[in-house]
Structure 1
């Protein structure tokens, strides 16, 4: 009986391994055969990817993805994911690319391959206009909030002196960037840190005079599209399409719909 149980456990283990996606596998031919590609995104990240009043997923990155994959010959299917699990979703095969204001970092490069950078961004600090906070140093003893597992979290955490001097010596985290504004407006957070691209878009729908953007920030960065390590062909095709869009003006035309520099 003991031997039989060991054999059965071995068979189950092998079966589980067989279902696990191979990170080194190039899936381009399979995607072409299916004619569809699953794009993972945070559907609250305005203006890159979000839901409009009809509940439809729209945004700058959504329009970019539609044009890129049209040129490649694939139909994008947009799938909202838990942003804190984005790399896990990608490497598990639940999505095929991460495409939604996805900041390129050295830590993330260990988990995924990135496309060429296509947009610059800065992690900015926002307070209410009435706040006495004017510099990073003024954050000492204050409540600072960021999105969970975001590039803002990484950027602030990298500045260890700032974090250790915060109230309770830690950042407060939320699932959505939009929750940051709600917490700031309620007076529970003293400052929030998030992508400038998103923040300035949100402020268009608010009374901007009620808020203050500090001159200090937590660094400049660039957005890229994330791929599984094995998807080198897909990465090459996307980079080619993206570069062509930059050169023929299509990229700038799409960008101007959502962002006026």
Structure 2
């Protein structure tokens, strides 16, 4: 769920993100020598990757703001956890290498606006987002978190995007399609630990073992850039991760392709990405209503279009919907 790209090169091919397919592999994802005017473009519109974002904003809705628990509202801030290691177009550093930007930060801003709170971003590792939310350090997390049944034991969720995963291979790979467990039998594949895609991959591998097929060789890389290096060098044959980040890398770099997509909640359920709060702390309902408000007034659609993710829009926000089944269930 991470990408080490710090700033994007000029990519008219970013249009491919909308089609959720394309080609890219070059792991040198820090083109600091790119001209400052070089920026990604979606549908002919240049994406602003500088620190001055001029974000889409929303107005305060007093009836919703009044529902925010007093302990959270008293400082006038909404502390939002992000993992800003770099995952365009989700969360990544702007050209100042400090300011966090992306679709997740924009949506968090809209929610804070409706709640009448100042957004207070906090940068963290992926794993610490969950620990920080559980401890109360982060009041809400916007970071491409998929709803799962296990996570619902500890956290509450308000959905805001569909969850799509992708399989990435280099252009010269003989692999044409990955769409079912048998397609990964005996392959060297990579995934990030502690993610929903890891759970799906482990389930596929277990199905293959029970069917007498050769197990996959699973390699773990914390950073997407490391996985790309492994892909280029042949240490792995395929990478399994969030489709938006893969498609962005593909559009920027060229040289690889997507050979399959999957729901982040497994084969029987469309995965959903959601804002995550501590269980029963009273915040999920106003967050859900804030999301419903910006979906209804068109601000939500503006944000998704800005980052080329209109195809991941949902018609309404839900609280704690069915999620990725428990492992082994």
TM-score, normalised with respect to structure 1: 0.81
Give, in angstroms, the shift of residue 67 of structure 1: 1.4
Are 2:249 and 1:202 aligned?
yes
Distance verdict in 2 for CA 1:175–1:258, change over 3 Å: same
Provide, for residues 224-256 of structure 1, a one-character-per-residue CA deviation record: whole Å limited to 9, x for no partner: 011111222x21111111101001110000111
**Residue of structure 1 in register with 2:304 after alignment:** 255
Q: Which has a greater percent of helix?
A: 1
Distance verdict in 2 for CA 1:217–1:65, change over 3 Å: closer
**Residue of structure 2 in register with 1:224 after alignment:** 274
**Residue of structure 2 in register with 1:88 after alignment:** 131
Conserved 8 A contact 1:124-1:194: yes
Quote the Cα distance in structure 2 between the aligned partners of 1:200 and 1:162. Answer: 28
Give, in angstroms, the shift of residue 28 of structure 1: 2.1
Conserved 8 A contact 1:124-1:217: yes
Q: Which has a greater percent of strand?
A: 1
Structure 1: runs of 5 or more not aligned: 1-25
**Residue of structure 2 in register with 1:149 after alignment:** 194
Quote the Cα distance in structure 1 between the aligned partners of 2:288 and 2:82. Answer: 19
Quote the Cα distance in structure 1 between the aligned partners of 2:214 and 2:135. Answer: 38
Give, in angstroms, the shift of residue 205 of structure 1: 0.6
Provide, for residues 98-118 of structure 1, a one-character-per-residue CA deviation record: whole Å limited to 9, x for no partner: 211111111111121111x21
Q: 1:30 aligns with which of 57, 66, 71?
A: 71
Quote the Cα distance in structure 1 between the aligned partners of 2:284 and 2:104. Answer: 16
Mean Cα displacement is larger for which, 159-168 or 48-57?
159-168
Conserved 8 A contact 2:164-2:242: yes
Conserved 8 A contact 1:144-1:166: no
Secondary structure at the residue paired with 1:242?
helix
Conserved 8 A contact 1:103-1:223: yes
**Residue of structure 1 in register with 2:33 after alignment:** none
Let me know the Cα RMSD of the aligned residues.
2.1
Secondary structure at the residue paired with 2:74?
helix
Matched length: 230
TM-score, normalised with respect to structure 2: 0.65
Map 1:162-241 → 2, pairs under 5 A? 162=208, 165-168=214-217, 171-207=218-254, 210-215=255-260, 217=262, 219=266, 220-232=270-282, 234-241=283-290
Q: 2:171 aligns with which of 129, 144, 147?
A: 129
